Structure 1
Amino acid sequence: MIAVTGATGRLGGRIAQRLAAAGVATRLLVRDPSRAPELPGAEAVLAPYGDADAVRAALAGVDAVLMVSASESEDRLEQHLTFVRAAAQAGVGHVVYTSFFGAAPKATFTLARTHFHTEQALRSAGPAWTFLRDCLYADFLPGMVEDEGEGGVIRGPAGHGRVAAVAQDDIADVAAAVLLDPGAHAGRTYDLTGPEELTLDDVAAIVSAAQGRPVRYEEETLAEAYASRARYGAPDWQVEAWVSTYVAIARGEMQPATDDVPALLGRPATSLEQLLRAERGRMSA
């Protein structure tokens, strides 16, 4: 029995689909069972990360669990630690955790610090573990573009830094492969990236070609970055996370590209251009 968290989300849902296609029985731990995907061999169970009793009950008899990091929130680490303790108490044998590239206690990207502390908790919790340290999602890069007239612009304090963004489908393929043979990956940390290291000028050019409109990158100072995001009315911790994403790129913390995806899947990692071309094909089908 494999448990999957985050199955109503983009990444967890992809992984649940792959496990179902492989004929594996899964238990989907979700916050809203009515939104869980209907998959063969899958059972949806209400088990929010912060509810230790529900998590323990949901993980009873589970051999391995995919722990997709919780939605971004101020108490995200507290939710993670509650889940980790409950998983250990339930007797889960293996936890596969979707962490973040360069997770460290003093990482520039503020949310990568939460991932580091979650990893540390898993190391000492008892179950075997595997960490999938995902770089920035390539799927989200087009979402960084703000509409501007007939074109678009990416604004941020990323300088000329580079990002080795990874496609979510590649992460899902890796996660499914690990969950189907967890023992072979016990105690391993994989840095999952795309095949290339792109500046935001490169990203703008690739998105421009894919969308058929002019897209450019405009560098901001830190002060400009905070000011331009103030209009969203988001809490300070969230704005800090947004801005620190760009600063981490500027400081080289979103690179280098690794060989972990091709080594685990036996095929090249997906480039941003390939990803956007495939999306365009699905939309036109």
Structure 2
Amino acid sequence: MILVVGGTGRLGSRLTGELVGRGASVRVMARGESQPFPGKTIDGVELVRGSLASGTDCGRAVAGCSQVVFAASGFGLKRGGSPRSVDRDGALRLIDAASRAGVQHVVMMSMPGAAPDAPLDFLRMKYAAEEALKASGMAWSVIRMGANLEQFLDSMSQPLHTRGRVLVFGSGRAPVTFTSTPDAAAAVLLALAGPSLHGRTVEWGSETHSFNTLAEAILAHAGKGSIQRIPVAALRVMAAVARPISPFMARMARAALWMESGEASFNPAVERAAFPEIPVIGLRESLDQIRST
């Protein structure tokens, strides 16, 4: 049995479908609040509604599982969670439960830049979870995926449908290494399939683009619209004053400023060369898939 934590999210849903297609027995754990919880049983998938804030729920979720994928995140939660409560505390609670239950292998989703002194709370919490997993005694794989390509294409495109504009935070000129959801899922499947990624931290990216490039591609695909920018100065103000009112918006602003610095860019060539069997799903393919759904 393979447990996918955060299995109703973008990556978790993709991964669950791939695993079922390969004949694996899959259990999904999710709160069912930020993303809809399936209303009916899916063939080959056991659904467990639970919270990472509960040790009991974590224990119930990992029972009988040989492998666990931690794909949950509190970064995008507008209520009911945060990077601290989900990406660190929730991960540590699940790691402890998995170790007690005899789980053999845990795959942890993280992000390039995770470090104890990283400028973003999210990256510091991811680093703490990585270190706890490495010290757990279980076999482990850490996959640091770049900014999710489809998530940004979706969020940037939303104002296009209502106001005819594509939203760009900051100058839009800084390079960002994005990872598509199919690429991230393929990396996780590789980690689950055998020992090639056991005991390894890999930084997985698909393509590097600026946000201006993404915006122009969205507009060309839509055949209409214009770009609306939120200036860097406005992002600094938002990061400073929004936290008491909307921690989510403050996190978004701080993340945008971090990306503006160019720190969200990395070179995935070494990992790509090591695992050439994983295809690159980039900007053009992701836009085509979004348009067809």
Please state which band the TM-score falls in when normalised by the shorter chain: 0.7 to 0.9
Q: Percent identity?
A: 24
Q: Return the alpha-carbon distance in structure 2 between the equivalents of residues 124 and 113 of structure 1.
A: 17
Alpha-carbon distance, 1:154 to partner: 2.6
Aligned to 1:89: 100
TM-score of the aligned structures, taking structure 1 as reference length: 0.86
Match of 2:135, SS state, is helix
Task: Say if 2:261 is the partner of 1:251.
Answer: yes
Pick one of 105, 108, 112 that aligns with 2:116.
Answer: 105
Pick one of 209, 225, 238 that aligns with 2:248.
Answer: 238
Alpha-carbon distance, 1:45 to partner: 2.5
Q: Please list every run of at least 4 consecutive aligned residues from structure 1 whose deviation after the TM superposition is greater than 4 angstroms.
A: 226-236
Matches within 5 A, 1:135-284: 135-142=146-153, 143-145=155-157, 147=159, 151-157=164-170, 160-181=173-194, 183-195=195-207, 197-216=208-227, 218=229, 220-222=231-233, 224-227=234-237, 235=245, 237-259=247-269, 260=271, 263-264=274-275, 266-280=277-291, 282-283=292-293
Q: Return the alpha-carbon distance in structure 2 between the equivalents of residues 34 and 47 of structure 1.
A: 11
Aligned to 1:50: 53
Aligned to 1:80: 91
Q: What letter matches 1:23 in structure 2?
A: G
Alpha-carbon distance, 1:94 to partner: 0.8
Q: Return the alpha-carbon distance in structure 1 between the equivalents of residues 137 and 219 of structure 2.
A: 48
Q: Return the alpha-carbon distance in structure 1 between the equivalents of residues 54 and 192 of structure 2.
A: 24
Q: Return the alpha-carbon distance in structure 2 between the equivalents of residues 118 and 158 of structure 1.
A: 32
Report the CA distance shift for 1:229/1:4 in structure 2 as closer, same or farther (over 3 A).
same
User: What runs of 5+ residues in structure 2 fail to find an aligned partner?
Assistant: 76-80
Q: Return the alpha-carbon distance in structure 1 between the equivalents of residues 241 and 223 of structure 2.
A: 29
CA contact (8 A) 1:27 1:43 kept: yes
Alpha-carbon distance, 1:191 to partner: 1.0
Q: Return the alpha-carbon distance in structure 2 between the equivalents of residues 135 and 37 of structure 1.
A: 32
Alpha-carbon distance, 1:278 to partner: 2.5
Alpha-carbon distance, 1:92 to partner: 1.0
Q: Return the alpha-carbon distance in structure 1 between the equivalents of residues 276 and 25 of structure 2.
A: 22
Aligned to 2:137: 126
CA contact (8 A) 1:3 1:62 kept: yes
Alpha-carbon distance, 1:171 to partner: 0.9
CA contact (8 A) 2:165 2:227 kept: yes
Deviations 1:225-266 (A, max 9, x none): 255689989745423320122222222221124133574362
Report the CA distance shift for 1:53/1:8 in structure 2 as closer, same or farther (over 3 A).
same
CA contact (8 A) 1:101 1:133 kept: yes
Q: Return the alpha-carbon distance in structure 2 between the equivalents of residues 262 and 214 of structure 1.
A: 38
Task: Say if 2:65 is the partner of 1:62.
Answer: yes
Q: What letter matches 2:213 in structure 1?
A: D
How many residue pairs match? The answer is 279
Alpha-carbon distance, 1:268 to partner: 3.7
RMSD of aligned alpha carbons: 2.8
Q: Return the alpha-carbon distance in structure 2 between the equivalents of residues 121 and 37 of structure 1.
A: 35
